Structure formats: structure tokens, C-alpha cells
Amino acid sequence: MTQALAPTSRIGILGGGQLGRMLALSAARMGLDVVIFDPEPDCPASRVAAETVTAAYDDLDAVAKFAASVDAVTYEFENVPAATAAAAAEHAPLRPGAKALDVAQDRLTEKTFLNAHGATTVAFRPVSTLAELHTAISELGLPAILKTRRFGYDGKGQAVIREMSDAEEALAAMNGQPAILEAFADFTHELSIVAARGVDGEVRAYPLSENRHSDGILRESLAPAKVSDETTKTALGMATRVLDALEYVGVMGMELFALKDGTLLVNEIAPRVHNTGHWTQDACTVCQFEQHIRAVAGWPLGDPVPHASARMVNLIGHDADAWEDWLKTPNAVLHLYGKRETRDGRKMGHVNVLGSL
């Protein structure tokens, strides 16, 4: 289907977390109805959507019924099971497609794909045994990072190896899961580019952001990042090649390492709206969430040029307890995700503090 969906059409979203919530809010403003599919009956997105289907992701009959009730399906997290995505795609256009999920769900597949399409990463080796890990360390050097190939996020499922003696403990931390050893990137700062591709193949990207992490979790994004035009051009080129190779429709986040010599390496991609793009909600006329919905609905992509600079601050765990203070902060816009329980390490909301360009 290439024809644009009409207003009042229904868009299904697999996943009901904060990203699904913000997608639903943007869709509603544009006159589109969102149906959320999530195992949790009181998920954050359910309380702002037109309808919610509560079922397990492996309940393929429920998935099929859900997809048949909407005009297009998207997803808000990259670990949607392959069978779930396939079942949905049989009944409605799936945007982005299943290929993006297949690539993003396995770090080995992802890095192999990225390098094959002109988006260079650090050197890497697959690892399943201690002997393979020792060989990989001898080839890549130390320090290096051992990661599970699947399901790791926000610093989970990884271990830094600084000495050969750390290898056995690091491999044990993988709990028997297939792993990948990644060479250490001696970067000066972390960047990301959030870009969208429409059904017609048009690509539009927001300015790069500079990102600051702590304990594997994003804490702040500063946008637009203070980078050269050449850096922006290089990042856009890599993102465009990957989007085209995936025949992607929607918004994608690409995380980057900037090295001392100006080289950019791709850390990973996320086939969805991205935490480092939250600043666009208040600094751009068309934010990443509206842009994604536009792409999924087959609508023209919007203008990604910002009208303000922004400092996005993630509210992690009890950081969100200071919500009243943020409401008193000049030029700050508070976004809370409606999560009932505050837990350490849990993303509870974010704040965009706006400034001049």
C-alpha cells in the first residue's frame, strides 16, 4: 500500500511503553486513532490511545486480529518477536518492515549489515566459548567489551574486559548466551542522528545531538550538536544508506562514536523513535513522533529544522520526584510517562530545556 491513510484511520502499535504513548499522542493530534497491543493492561500508552488489546506477544491469533483491525502497524521497541511481526504483516502494512527488526535484534547481524552498507563500526568477533574469547581478545586487543548478541540495553548484558584475567568472569556474566566481543572505541564524544524515511524513499534527518551517558543509560542530549558540516554530511550519508538498504519506513536512531581524528563509527541503530530525539518535541515544529506517524501513514515528511536549541534531561528513577521543580524552571518543558511505579534505573520522564540557536 502506497496511498496515504486518511484522517481517522487506525494505526496499530506493538508495545505500550513511553515511546508508544508519545506516538499515540502525536497521532491523535493529527486525527488518527491508535490501537496499542501490549501484555500489560495498564501500560503508559493505553491511557492515551483510542483502544488497547491486552495479550501476550506470542498469542499470534490475538496479533492477527489486532493487525486486521488497523490500517498500518508499527512498533515502539526493537525486540518484537519475529513471529509476532510476521503475523501482523500478513494483515496490515508493517512499518518499518521485519527486516529492520531482524538486523537490529542481533548485534552480530547488525554490525555485519552496517559495515556492508558503508556504516563502519568498531572491529568485532562472535564469541561462544572461552577459547574463542581468548582468540578474539588477542586479535582485537584490550580493553574490549563483551556483549550478549541479543536483548541487552541501557548497559545490561555487557562486561568490560581490561585484562585477560577478566575474560572468564565476563563470559560467565553472559549466562550462556551467544556473545560478541567489540573493540574499544577511543572516542571523544558520543553523537546520534535521528532520521526518517517515507514510503516514497525521501529521507529527512534532524541535526545531530551530543549525548552523555552514565552507567550505560542516556542522561542528557544536547542539540544541535556543535559539529562540523563534514561530520553532519558523513552521519547523514551513513543513515541514508542504511535506511535505503532496509527499505525502511519510519524514524530510526543511529548512535555514533566520534573519534579524535574526526572519524565516525556507528555504535548501533534502533528501528524506532529514539531517546536522543526527544528534544525535537519542543525544539522542532515536527517532532520525531509526528514524523514517524507521518511516515507510517504514508503522509509527506515534515520539516526537521529546529527553531530552538535544547538540552534534554532524562528523569531516571527518583529524578522524577523533582517534577515540581522542573515546572518552575524557565524554558523547561516537562514530559512524564505516566508510569505507576518509580524504580531505580527506570525512565520516568524527560525535560527539554530550550535555548537560542
Give the CATH number, domain containing residue 130: 3.30.1490.20
- Residue 151's pLDDT is what? 81
Whether residues 128 and 157 share a domain: the answer is yes
- Going by C-alpha positions, the residue among 101, 43, 89 that lies closest to residue 63 is 89
Average pLDDT over residues 315-333: 98
152: pLDDT strictly greater than 80? no
153: pLDDT strictly greater than 70? no
Helix axes 82-89, 60-68, angle to 10 degrees: 40
Whether residues 250 and 294 share a domain: the answer is yes
Q: 1 lies in a domain?
A: no
Q: 105 lies in a domain?
A: no
Q: 107 lies in a domain?
A: no
Q: Which among 94, 113, 147 is the end of a domain? A: 94
User: pLDDT above 70 covers what percent of the chain?
Assistant: 98
CATH number at residue 198: 3.30.470.20
Torsion of CA 297, 304, 276, 63, to 10 degrees: 0
Let me know: does 297 contact 72? Beta carbons within 8 Å. Answer: yes
Residue with cell string 529514539: 274
Average predicted confidence (pLDDT) for the chain? 96
Q: Is the dihedral of CA 200, 201, 202, 204 positive or negative?
A: positive
Q: Which of 11-25, 78-92, 141-155, 287-301 shows the lowest per-residue confidence on average (mean pLDDT)?
A: 141-155
Average pLDDT over residues 115-143: 97
154: pLDDT strictly greater than 90? no
- Residue 215's pLDDT is what? 86
Q: 103 lies in a domain?
A: no
**Cell representation of residue 57:** 506477544
Whether residues 209 and 344 share a domain: the answer is yes
4: pLDDT strictly greater than 60? yes
CATH number at residue 35: 3.40.50.20
Helix axes 107-116, 229-245, angle to 10 degrees: 110
**Residue range(s) defining the domain that contains residue 40:** 10-94
Q: 112 lies in a domain?
A: no
Whether residues 247 and 312 share a domain: the answer is yes
- Residue 216's pLDDT is what? 84
Q: Is the dihedral of CA 347, 74, 254, 304 positive or negative?
A: negative
Whether residues 326 and 206 share a domain: the answer is yes
Whether residues 169 and 198 share a domain: the answer is no
pLDDT tens profile 233-290? 999 999 999 999 999 999 999 999 999 999 999 999 999 999 999 999 999 999 999 9
Number of domains into which the chain is organized: 3
User: pLDDT above 90 covers what percent of the chain?
Assistant: 96
155: pLDDT strictly greater than 70? no
The structure's pTM equals 0.96
Whether residues 200 and 152 share a domain: the answer is no
pLDDT tens profile 26-78? 999 999 999 999 999 999 999 999 999 999 999 999 999 999 999 999 999 99
Whether residues 309 and 204 share a domain: the answer is yes
Whether residues 237 and 179 share a domain: the answer is no
How crowded is residue 33: how many other Cβ atoms within 10 Å of its Cβ? Answer: 18
214: pLDDT strictly greater than 60? yes
How crowded is residue 4: how many other Cβ atoms within 10 Å of its Cβ? Answer: 13
Whether residues 44 and 135 share a domain: the answer is no
Whether residues 132 and 222 share a domain: the answer is no
Q: 296 lies in a domain?
A: yes
Whether residues 72 and 194 share a domain: the answer is no
